[in-house]
Amino acid sequence: MTAKIYYDNDADLSHLKDKTIAILGYGSQGHAQAQNLRDSGCTVIIGQRPGGANYDLAKSHKFEPMSVEDAVKKADVVNILLPDEVQGDIYRNSIRPNLKPSAVLMCSHGFNIHFGQVEPPKGVDTLLVAPKGPGHLVRSEFVKGGGVPSLIALGEGASEKTRQIGLAYAKGIGGTRGGVIETTFAEETETDLFGEQVVLCGGVSELVKAAFDTLVEAGYQPEMAYFECMHELKLIVDLFYQGGLNYMRYSVSNTAEFGDYTRGPRIITQETRATMKKILYEIQSGQFAREWILENRAGAPAFKASRRRDRGLLIEQVGRRLRKLMTWIDSKEV
Ligand code: NDP
Ligand code: MG
């Protein structure tokens, strides 16, 4: 099965004509999508709480940010671009009571709608348009005349008209310049969580930590362990990005390639694959969502403890020092 992909010619911006789009949250996605839509000729208003840098940013971009409540009251299309863990409460308190009866409710990640934290009233269609990249790229590519590939999904029972609005929205943010893949809320939400847990965030971090610890415990210098197990990862990932596994293998030495084939499968074993299936099941069954929602209700104690613990790791201390020596790295500290 190959995905359905939409391009510029499949989308018509006139479906957003006469519609007011409220962007809730002027963060990574909010600031990018709002400006791109405005540059595409759409009417955009911003719901952003005052007091922080994002409020000032919206002002400096010549928007007049207002409360979430006021923005929702005025809007025909409402896009919730707030952090996923606060969306449920803000939806119940400030969005739902103010929604126009036939508004379209949008998001860029399906978590809250798929797992029932944002439940649209009857008559309100749900729609997902998700750029496959961070907000700053969504903006910078658009300004250059390009666009970041995006996903589109219609909520249960959404109309054909809502699909047209979704395609127009995707065009407005530049998505159809890169291609817009049709998916479902379930597929977007579940694959997104799986990817970040198993590979992108969870899998890779743990792999790097375990390899670093193995070298240091064997008596090698932590600086050497840092370079081999963390720093050089970027070089490899860049090769994947440009030409897949094959290009990485073409670029590294034959010795490295031989080690890859013979040792890799001993690191990611049948047991690891079985665990991946279990993690996928926990996502599909809602067990992970429940855990994360309850964790936040409790004030996120386990989450904060993990953050604290990992910030103190040796690999982080060594890395901080080494990155300062590499002046070409745009090194960051938060
Ligand atoms: P950010 O964290 O960058 O921005 C969040 C915005 O929400 C900020 O303007 C922030 O304002 C506001 N906000 C945060 N907490 C509250 C609160 N309690 N009450 C009111 N406003 C609040 O979010 P992202 O842009 O990263 O994410 C938005 C959505 O986009 C999410 O659903 C995410 O999954 C999705 N997404 C994100 C991608 C990314 O690369 N970042 C990629 C694709 C999808 P303030 O400055 O005042 O805190
Ligand atoms: Mg993702």
Is residue 253 pLDDT above 90, yes or no? yes
Note the pLDDT tens digit of each residue in 213-232: 999 999 999 999 999 999 99
Mutational test site, ligand 1, from 82, 109, 150, max ligand atoms within 8 Å of CB: 82
Cα(128)–Cα(79) distance, rounded to whole angstroms? 9
| Ligand 1 contacts CB of residue 109 (under 6 A) | yes
| Ligand 1 contacts CB of residue 81 (under 6 A) | yes
Is residue 30 pLDDT above 80, yes or no? yes
Residue 146 in tokens: 């390009």
Closest CA to 309 of 216, 209, 230: 209
Q: Which one of the ligands is nearest to 80 CA?
A: 1
- Tell how far the Cα of 233 is from the centroid of ligand 2, in angstroms: 20
Q: Residue type for 204, please?
A: V
Mutational test site, ligand 1, from 36, 49, 127, 129, max ligand atoms within 8 Å of CB: 49
With contact defined as beta carbons under 8 Å apart, do 45 and 20 qualify? Answer: yes
- Tell how far the Cα of 33 is from the centroid of ligand 1, in angstroms: 12
Q: Which atom of ligand 1 is nearest to the CA of 107?
A: 32
pLDDT at 2: 85
- Tell how far the Cα of 220 is from the centroid of ligand 2, in angstroms: 35
Is residue 22 pLDDT above 80, yes or no? yes
Q: Is pTM beyond 0.85 here? A: yes
| Ligand 1 contacts CB of residue 30 (under 6 A) | yes
**Residue 116 Rama label (left phi>0; alpha psi -120 to 50; beta):** left
Active site residues: 109
Q: Which one of the ligands is nearest to 109 CA?
A: 1
pLDDT at 80: 98
Q: Which backbone phi and psi does 123 adopt, to 5 degrees?
A: 95, -15
- Tell how far the Cα of 286 is from the centroid of ligand 2, in angstroms: 17
- Tell how far the Cα of 90 is from the centroid of ligand 1, in angstroms: 12
* pLDDT: which is higher, 309 or 1: 309
* Ligand 1: residue whose CA is nearest its atom 46: 54
| Ligand 1 contacts CB of residue 130 (under 6 A) | yes
Q: What integer best gives the mean pLDDT of the chain?
A: 97
